[in-house]
Amino acid sequence: MAGEIPDLIAQERTGTGKGAARQARRDGMVPGIVFGGDADPLPINIPFNLLFKKLKEGRFKSTLFNMKVEGHDDVRVICRDVQRHVVKDLPTHIDFMRLKRTTKINLFIGVNVIGEDNCPGIRKGGVLSLVRPEVELVVTAGDIPESITIDVTGLEIGDNLTISSVDLPTGAKPTIDRDFVIAQISAPSGLASQDDDDEDVAADEVPTTEMDAPDGEQADD
């Protein structure tokens, strides 16, 4: 999430080219480059185990990082490419882009819920289900919101809350061009099961009517 920008510690790589990159891999590092931001490209190395762990956590390319390199100012970066081994599928090189404050980027922003105490559906036993605990937004690098807030005040069981009802931060917009559901008030499982049972009982209680056979087809007593 964007509220807490994680640090990403890297080392400046001495030397460029295939030879230096191969040596970095032998030393347990993944070579990379930091570019953009009106500054010279900076060759870096990132510890393989650290990078592999972060890649497994998911959404690596949609996460804003605060990169720390000794001897350089901290800089906000976002991953632009991860090259992988053609057979082992392990990272072999990584590209990061420095971000200006005006740069537009896609980030997953966490959802904060308010109004639960004033939600009739919850008071009646309904369950708040966050369909999307995070929402991917296009935001400005210099004005990244910590979260977006949804208000479930007044929602009844069965009601949905969609992105169109959310006041988004200035300059932010969803990456999905449709009115998708963020949260809903669901019936408790016990109530849902009871409703199903009631329907079954109601069907069983429907009286059956014996129809008389047509004339000439009365069964013999």
User: For the chain, how are helix, strand and coil distributed in percent, rounded to 5?
Assistant: 20, 35, 40
Last residue of a domain, one of 98, 130, 147: 98
Could you give phi then psi for residue 184, rounded to 5 degrees?
A: -150, 155
CA distance 14 to 21: 10
Which CATH number fits the domain that encloses residue 37? 2.40.240.10
Residues 108 and 197 in one domain: yes
Prediction pTM value: 0.66
Is residue 220 pLDDT above 60, yes or no? no
Which CATH number fits the domain that encloses residue 111? 2.170.120.20
| Count: domains in the chain | 2
Residues 88 and 20 in one domain: yes
Tell me which residue range forms the domain holding 70: 7-98
Residues 117 and 194 in one domain: yes
| More confident: 16 or 150 | 150
Range in 53-62, 70-79, 124-133, 189-198 with the lowest mean pLDDT: 189-198
